[in-house]
Amino acid sequence: MKMKGEGNKMNNPQIKNPKALLFSLCFVLMFSVMNGTMFNIAIPDIAEAFSLLPSEVSWVMTGYIMIYAVGALVYGKLTDTIALKTLITFGLIVFSLGSLIGFIAPNYGFVLMARVIQAIGGSMIPAIAFIAPIRYFPNERGKILGIISSVMAFASGIGPILGGVIGGFLSWQYLFLTSAFIIITLPFLRANLPDEKTKYVKLDYIGGSLVASLIVLSLMGITLGQSWTLFIVMILAILVVFRMKKAKDPFIPPHLFKNSNYVVTLLVSFISVACLFGLMFSVPIMLRDVYELSTLQIGLAMFPGAMSAALIGRKGGQLVDQKGSRMIFLVSLLLLLTGFLVVSTTVGTHPVIFSLSLVFPMMCFPLVQSSGADLLAGILSQKETGVGMGVFNLLNFVSGALSGALVGKVLDIYRPDYPLNPLGVIDSGAVYSNVFIVFMVLILVGFIVFKFFHHSPLQTKTESP
């Protein structure tokens, strides 16, 4: 394994105004994340506007997630060869064009087209948001990744509130118009991103197409419950592995997965993010089901957790730089485990108490994201950073789709009378309490796997987390 930061030594181009660049990156990332969460609120209104069945309107989110996941990996690969200024210009223009099409969409077909175009452009944003700190802020990498992750967590929490306000006072079309305002960040990003040379290399288009097909069909099977895709997914997985081994310059280098630290970090990050996304998916449903809260009230109930994530992000990132990403990653897993236990215990109590309990797990979002990303940055070499972080972003989106689909199925068929948590409240919220206990167990498994299978040459066997 490389020493932390060894693989990222490079002649970093000079940034004219680092603070302005960071602010612009955070602003554009916030719009991107909110674009996803705002439309969760609008789905019932879109279905009513075009007389759609739930299975039909679900493509507003499903189609977006599939294209976004593929794009996150593709852009990650492209960041190794194409200047970030060029990629971000293309991405923001395409995203804004999709937003304008959605605002004036005369029918559902145009709405879907708008979402696809948004995803094609918007999937560039998380790729660059995680690559830029590694490339341009090597000495403050943990701190900057912490800020980036806290913005993502805050936007995830504030998105439903903003979506509810805009959709309630105006209409769902104005969600598209709000997203289009992301274009105002482009001049600031172009002014502060350094000029870099584009290295034209031959891409593995066959390998990229196979990977994209594998992702799309996997997400279709997960989000829509299409079991017939399983057989095709297995065949595509075999072809992807074969292509990775045989291609001269494969789309995803196979040696990435020979590094046990890289694989373990990806796996535990996948588990952690899946549990966090599962929390954010199930809590709004629980607040409506158990407490009968309105859309705006649900957003307000989740707001303290979102604010805690925003406030803890910067400090957590500084701790990553000071204490090391491995230490903070382990500590964040322990905190997240405790947070799920607290949330499981408070389901069915007064809504204010439950709202405050969400602070404990949600504040771990930026800690897990920033320390995990920093760990990967320390493992990857300069030429592997783009595709390596692209795989990281890809798995984040797949984990979100997987956890949402599985939690949805559980809520459909499982209605226990008693919670598994002996401290839990016995009422209609037992199923939600049990879901959070399962998340706690998964985080415990992740902690054990990371503790004993992730190794650092800087640490001894007797070192505690």
Tokens of 342: 């607290």
The verdict on 242 and 386 lying in the same domain is no
Q: Is 51 left (phi over 0), alpha (psi -120 to 50) or beta?
A: left
Q: How far is the C-alpha of 386 from the C-alpha of 429, rounded, in Å?
A: 43
Give the chain's largest Cα–Cα span: 65
The verdict on 349 and 389 lying in the same domain is yes
Number of domains within the chain:
2
Check residue 462 and give its pLDDT: 33
Query: What is the rounded (10 degree) CA torsion for 137, 140, 143, 145?
Result: 30
Give the pLDDT mean for 443-447: 93
- The answer to the question of residue 208 being in a domain is yes
- The answer to the question of residue 464 being in a domain is no
pLDDT band for position 1 (cuts 50, 70, 90)? very low
Measured over the CA atoms of residue 301, residue 316, residue 68 and residue 111, the dihedral's sign is positive
What b/e sequence results for 140-162 when a residue is b if at least 16 CB atoms lie within 10 Å of its CB, and e otherwise? bbbbbbbbbbbbbbbbbbbbbbb
Residue, of 141 and 107, whose pLDDT is higher: 107
pLDDT band for position 14 (cuts 50, 70, 90)? low
The amino acid sitting at 163 is G
Are 293 and 164 a contacting pair, CB within 8 Å? no
Check residue 461 and give its pLDDT: 36
Pick from 57, 38, 35, 196: which is nearest to 124 by CA?
Answer: 35
- The torsion angles phi and psi of 332, rounded to 5 degrees, stand at -65, -35
The verdict on 92 and 224 lying in the same domain is no
Count CA atoms closer than 13 A to 428's CA, side-chain side. Answer: 8
The verdict on 281 and 415 lying in the same domain is yes
- pLDDT over 60 at 444, yes or no: yes
pTM over 0.85: no
Supply the CATH number for residue 70's domain.
1.20.1250.20
The verdict on 13 and 131 lying in the same domain is yes
Range of the structural domain that residue 65 is part of? 6-203+251-453
- pLDDT over 90 at 441, yes or no: yes
The verdict on 68 and 208 lying in the same domain is no
- pLDDT over 50 at 190, yes or no: yes
Check residue 443 and give its pLDDT: 93
The amino acid sitting at 283 is V
- The answer to the question of residue 22 being in a domain is yes
Tokens of 45: 């209104």
- pLDDT over 60 at 384, yes or no: yes
The verdict on 46 and 70 lying in the same domain is yes
The verdict on 243 and 269 lying in the same domain is no
- The answer to the question of residue 458 being in a domain is no
pLDDT band for position 200 (cuts 50, 70, 90)? low
Check residue 127 and give its pLDDT: 78
Give the pLDDT mean for 339-350: 88
Check residue 41 and give its pLDDT: 67
- pLDDT over 70 at 80, yes or no: yes
The amino acid sitting at 45 is D
The verdict on 196 and 229 lying in the same domain is no
| pLDDT tens track for 221-240 | 766 666 777 888 889 888 88
Q: Which among 250, 279, 312 is the end of a domain? A: 250
The verdict on 279 and 219 lying in the same domain is no
- The answer to the question of residue 459 being in a domain is no
Q: How far is the C-alpha of 292 from the C-alpha of 42, rounded, in Å?
A: 18
Q: Which among 250, 281, 312 is the end of a domain? A: 250
- The answer to the question of residue 465 being in a domain is no
| pLDDT tens track for 284-307 | 778 877 888 776 677 778 778 877
List CB contacts of 5: < 8 A, sequence separation 6 or more.
138, 141, 377, 378
pLDDT band for position 51 (cuts 50, 70, 90)? confident
List CB contacts of 11: < 8 A, sequence separation 6 or more.
none
Tokens of 200: 């034209």
Residue percentage of the chain with pLDDT more than 90: 7
Are 322 and 407 a contacting pair, CB within 8 Å? no
The verdict on 291 and 352 lying in the same domain is yes
Q: What is the DSSP letter of 386?
A: H
pLDDT band for position 199 (cuts 50, 70, 90)? low
Check residue 100 and give its pLDDT: 92
Pick from 237, 179, 189, 138: which is nearest to 30 by CA?
Answer: 179
The neighbour count for residue 434, using CB atoms within 10 Å, is 20
In 194-327, DSSP assigns E strands to: none
Q: How far is the C-alpha of 124 from the C-alpha of 76, rounded, in Å?
A: 8
Give the pLDDT mean for 263-287: 85
Measured over the CA atoms of residue 434, residue 435, residue 437 and residue 438, the dihedral's sign is positive
Check residue 55 and give its pLDDT: 58
Are 190 and 85 a contacting pair, CB within 8 Å? yes
Give the pLDDT mean for 333-338: 91
For the ranges 88-102, 228-242, 396-410, which has the lowest average pLDDT?
396-410
Chain mean pLDDT for the chain: 78
- The answer to the question of residue 462 being in a domain is no
Are 71 and 217 a contacting pair, CB within 8 Å? no
| pLDDT tens track for 59-69 | 777 778 778 87
Q: How far is the C-alpha of 59 from the C-alpha of 21, rounded, in Å?
A: 34
Q: What is the DSSP letter of 14?
A: P
DSSP character string of 95-132: HHHHHHHHHT--SHHHHHHHHHHHHHHHTHHHHHHHHH
Tokens of 123: 């999937």
The verdict on 312 and 382 lying in the same domain is yes
Q: Which among 235, 250, 265 is the end of a domain? A: 250
- pLDDT over 90 at 210, yes or no: no
Q: What is the DSSP letter of 382?
A: G
- The answer to the question of residue 183 being in a domain is yes
pLDDT band for position 58 (cuts 50, 70, 90)? low
CA-only gyration radius of the chain, Å: 21
Which pairs count as long-range contacts for 321-324, CB under 8 Å and 24+ apart, including other chains?
321/140, 321/141, 321/142, 321/143, 324/4, 324/458
| pLDDT tens track for 136-160 | 777 777 777 777 777 777 777 677 7
Residue percentage of the chain with pLDDT more than 70: 85
